[in-house]
Every structure is written in structure tokens, then in C-alpha cells.
Amino acid sequence: MSAGHRVVGIVGGSGIYDPGLFTPTATHQVSTPWGPPSAAIQEGRVGAVRVFFLPRHGPGHAIPAHRVNYRANVDALVQLGVDTILSVSSVGSLREELKPGEFVLPNQFVDFTKLRPTTFYDGGKTYHISMADPFCPQVLSQAAAAGKSVGAPFHERKAYVCVEGPRFSTRAESRFFRGFADIIGMTLVPEITLARERALCYGLLAMVTDYDVWAEHPVDAHEIVRVMQANVAQMQGVLGALLPRLDAPRSCDCSHVLDTAGV
């Protein structure tokens, strides 16, 4: 547990290309050992909370999910002092009750990516990070409360399956994924594992934009964009309610995950 103000990094996904929450007071061009992050990082404040905003896919969604430099993005935010990452992204629904336009707070994930670097530790020092409970419980609790406060409640305790992309699923894959997950997306991994390796708190605010193809209707990228645009203001309202709630002492163990992970 630690006192002091949080420093929050918001990683905006599809449909969230600017913070919409604050007037930027600075723009940071950060270099990392893994190359440049997706874009320049904007800094501002929401109440007492310092906030840094990074569009995951770069300006104009130029970088597809499988080509995002996740290591550079996380490392750049850490260099700026971030201790908490809020990811905002669109997802497909694998459950009839999770409807397009609704919000989900996953607490578990399954990784079906194939080609992405997944760790900062490629040699030298090795860490085996526990991912049993990968999301910060304090952030999840605060996000759920924030959603309810603005009339945008989250579906909680759901599992996210992360696929490589950029293509969408086949019908057979979609039916298969329904056996163990509730929502599907392309960007959670390795972002969440890298945040864990840096002992950060991490939470995902997911916006359902479509039913995946299990529902017998092929996914339409144009329809996804339409649903995202219709719900961006509501998601920004959730963020506006959540960020002040994060200005509290950390009561989680996220900052100690490396204590017993080294070999």
C-alpha cells in the first residue's frame, strides 16, 4: 500500500483517439530501448490526478493491433511516471446478454496471439510473473462504481480472449472461443503482461461494438465504427468519473508482483 497521487496512463483504442477529458498541458516525445511508442503522449490533469494519453494505434488508426509496439508504449508511460494504466478498447461479444453499446470489465483473459513479443525479459534477468489475477482489483472496483455513477454500468467478471488479428474470426473459431470467453479483441495481450512486469495497476474498460460471427452475422467493420462513435461520449463520461476515484492510496498488491518472480 502506498500513499500519494496516482499517475494514470490512458491507452486509447479503436474510437478513442484523443483524451476528450482535459486540455493537454504538455506533449512528450519519448524514446525507448524498443523503439518509439505509437504516438506522442499528451499530458494533463483531471483534478489532482496527472494523466498521460497515448493512442494505441497511432494517429488515424494507422497501426494494426499485431504491429503495435506494446513494449515501447508501456515503457514510455513508465518513463513518464505512470503507475496505473487504463486501457480503453472495443470488443466483440461472445454472449447474447453482452449487447453492442454496453460496457464490460473483464477480470481474466486467454491469449491466442501468435507473433508478438510478450516480455521485457528476453535475456539476462528472468522473471516468471504470476498472471493468476491479471487485472488490478482496486481499479476494477473503482471503475465499476464510476460506471454506475454515470448510468453506464459494466458487466463484471468476464473473460477476454485476445486474438492476433487483423482479421476477424471464422465461424468455427468464434464458436470455439465461446467455450471459455465472453468477449473477444486484439489488443489486451501483451499490453497487460508488460504492465504486470513493470508492477503497474491495469484495468480495461471494454466497449462492446458487435456480436462476433458465432451469432451467424459476419462482423462488419463499418458497423463497429458506427457503434463506437455512438458510445465514445459515454465512455469519456466513465473516465471522467473514474479518474478522481483513482486519487487514493493503492490498496492492491500490484506494485509487489516482482518481489517473488525473479529467478
pLDDT in tens, 183-215: 999 999 999 999 999 999 999 999 999 999 888
262 in any annotated domain: no
| Half-sphere CA count of 6, side-chain side, radius 13 A | 29
pLDDT average, residue stretch 217-235: 79
Domain residues for 168?
Answer: 7-255
pLDDT, tens digit, for every residue of 98-132? 999 999 999 999 999 999 999 999 888 888 999 99
User: Which segments of the chain does DSSP mark as H helices, in order?
Assistant: 70-79, 137-149, 171-177, 191-197, 221-245
Query: Is residue 14 within 8 Å of 206, Cβ to Cβ?
Result: no
Three-state DSSP state, 167 = coil
For the chain, give the percent of residues with pLDDT over 70. Answer: 96
Indicate if the pLDDT at residue 1 is higher than 60: no
244 in any annotated domain: yes
261 in any annotated domain: no
172 in any annotated domain: yes
Query: What's the number of domains the chain is made of?
Result: 1
> For the domain that residue 63 is a member of, what is the CATH number?
3.40.50.1580
Strands (E), 79-200: 84-93, 103-112, 154-163, 183-185
**Residue 4 CB-density burial (10 A; 0-12 exposed, 13-18 middle, 19+ buried):** exposed
**Residues counted in the chain:** 263
Indicate if the pLDDT at residue 3 is higher than 60: no
List beta partners, residue 54: 11
**C-alpha closest to that of 242 among 154, 111, 121:** 154
61 in any annotated domain: yes
Q: Looking at the annotation, which residues are catalytic?
A: 210, 212
What the block records as the C-alpha cell of 128 is 516468471
Q: What is the mean pLDDT of the chain?
A: 92
Residue 16 is predicted with a pLDDT of: 67
Residue 223 is predicted with a pLDDT of: 77
| Half-sphere CA count of 67, side-chain side, radius 13 A | 7
260 in any annotated domain: no
263 in any annotated domain: no
138 in any annotated domain: yes
